[in-house]
Amino acid sequence: MREEALKVIESVLSQGRTAMVEFEAKQVLKAYGLPVPEEKLAKTLDEALKYAEEIGYPVALKLMSPQILHKSDAKVVMLNIKGPEELKQKWEEIHENARKYRPDAEILGVLVAPMLRPGREIIIGVTEDPQFGHAIMFGLGGIFVEVLKDVTFRIIPITERDARKMITEIKGYPILAGARGEEPADIDAIVDLLLKVSQLVDELRDYIKEMDLNPVFVYEKGKGAVIVDARIILKEPKEKKPEVSSEYKERCA
């Protein structure tokens, strides 16, 4: 698991980058058994057409560029493409949008992805605290995180008990448990996600700085979850082993 993930990380670092594009981030996640969709990176239109056939229409296209991390701002995500003709047209459009947004954008390829059945949206994230190290965050996606900041944190590594408590302690929990006659969401799948992210970051703590899995679709009980979009920020190679700080900020009043 670690070896495979490290290969991807080292390759990104060797290109002088610390921000992984979605495709790279998902490869790291996949190495740890996290659920990512069957996606393929197409370098050419022909490849894209071939992959779309394999995956089956409708598909989505997402342009991968280290300079374009906010893909929707740059309009480089095209959804619900129904056939080869439309794909050819969107292929042109997506490249044009990228050039307009960042003329200097280096394009690593275009991700061809299946259209996913919508589920309840959650966000899982990781940040690093200077005193306590990496912390994992959990919350519901969309307005719950944007407006209400209904999220909860734990220091990594977490136990299964921590993971379950995180899920039940957010205010929006009833939405996952099944409010208004809705079927309950797959809580065990979320627990599994949280534990795997915790393990991944614990083992790669010298490399990973921050992470956003946003959104993750969670389906009904027993039907699992899938990571729709992912970002990983790596530490600058020199940051790898932080020196023990001799700063003493605290003081007596």
Partner 1 sequence: MAEKIVEELRPFFDPKAVAIIGATNKKGKVGNVIFENFKMNKERGIFKGNIYPVNPKLDEIDGYKVYHSVEELPDDTDLAVISIPAPFVPDTMRQIAKKGIKAVIIITGGFGELGEEGKKLEREILEIARKNGIRVIGPNCVGVYVPDTGVDTVFLPESKMDRPESGPIAFVSQSGAFAAAMLDWAAMAGIGIGKMVSYGNKLDVDDADLMDYFIHDEGINVVTFYIEGVKDGRKFMESAKRITKVKPVIALKSGRTEYGAKAASSHTGSLAGADTIYDAVFKQTGIIRAEDFEHMFDLAKAFAALKDKLPKGDRIGIITDGGGAGVMASDAVAKFGLRMADLSEETVKFLKEKFPPHAVVGNPTDVVGDTDAERYRLALEAFTKDSNVDAILVIVLFQVPLLEEEKIIDILAEYQKKSDKPIVAVAMGGKKTDRYARMLEEKGVPVYPTPERGVRALAGLVRYAEYLKKVKGE
Binding residues among 71-110 for partner 1 as defined by CB under 8 A: none
171 binds partner 1 (CB under 8 A): no
Closer to partner 1 by CB, 61 or 163: give it. Answer: 163
202 binds partner 1 (CB under 8 A): no
Shortest CA distance to 38 belongs to which of 49, 50, 28, 52?
52
* Contact characters 17-56, partner 1, x per CB under 8 A: --x-------------------------------------
Q: Which of 159, 182, 222, 239 binds partner 1 (CB under 8 A)?
A: 159
Cα–Cα distance measured from residue 42 to residue 29, given in angstroms and rounded to the nearest whole number: 20
Residue with tokens 């659920």: 35
215 binds partner 1 (CB under 8 A): no
Cα–Cα distance measured from residue 131 to residue 206, given in angstroms and rounded to the nearest whole number: 15
Q: Which of 45, 47, 114, 127 binds partner 1 (CB under 8 A)?
A: 127
Q: Applying CB under 8 A, which part among 29-37, 38-46, 160-168, 217-225 lies near partner 1?
A: 160-168
Cα–Cα distance measured from residue 108 to residue 206, given in angstroms and rounded to the nearest whole number: 26
193 binds partner 1 (CB under 8 A): no
196 binds partner 1 (CB under 8 A): no
Q: Which of 210, 220, 223, 224 binds partner 1 (CB under 8 A)?
A: 210
Judging by beta carbons within 10 Å of its beta carbon (0-12, 13-18, 19+), is residue 37 exposed, middle or buried?
Answer: middle
Report the number of secondary-structure helices (H) and strands (E) in the chain. 8, 11
Cis before residue 184, ω within 30 degrees of 0?
Answer: no
Cα–Cα distance measured from residue 76 to residue 93, given in angstroms and rounded to the nearest whole number: 8
**CB 132, min distance to partner 1, A:** 3
Per the structure block, which two tokens stand in for 46? 């022909």
Q: Applying CB under 8 A, which part among 35-43, 55-63, 102-110, 208-216 lies near partner 1?
A: 208-216
Sequence letter at residue 252: C
Residue 66 · residue 108 · CB < 8 Å: yes
Q: Which of 165, 168, 183, 206 binds partner 1 (CB under 8 A)?
A: 165
Per the structure block, which two tokens stand in for 198? 């915790």
Q: Which of 133, 142, 178, 224 binds partner 1 (CB under 8 A)?
A: 133
Q: Which of 20, 87, 113, 151 binds partner 1 (CB under 8 A)?
A: 151
Cα–Cα distance measured from residue 237 to residue 17, given in angstroms and rounded to the nearest whole number: 10
Cα–Cα distance measured from residue 112 to residue 35, given in angstroms and rounded to the nearest whole number: 17
**CB 59, min distance to partner 1, A:** 26
Per the structure block, which two tokens stand in for 37? 């969709």
Q: Which of 117, 161, 238, 241 binds partner 1 (CB under 8 A)?
A: 161
Q: Which residues would be at the binding site for partner 1 (CB under 8 A)?
A: 19, 123, 125-127, 129, 131-133, 135, 137, 145, 149, 151-155, 158-159, 161-162, 165, 210-212, 214, 231, 233, 246-253
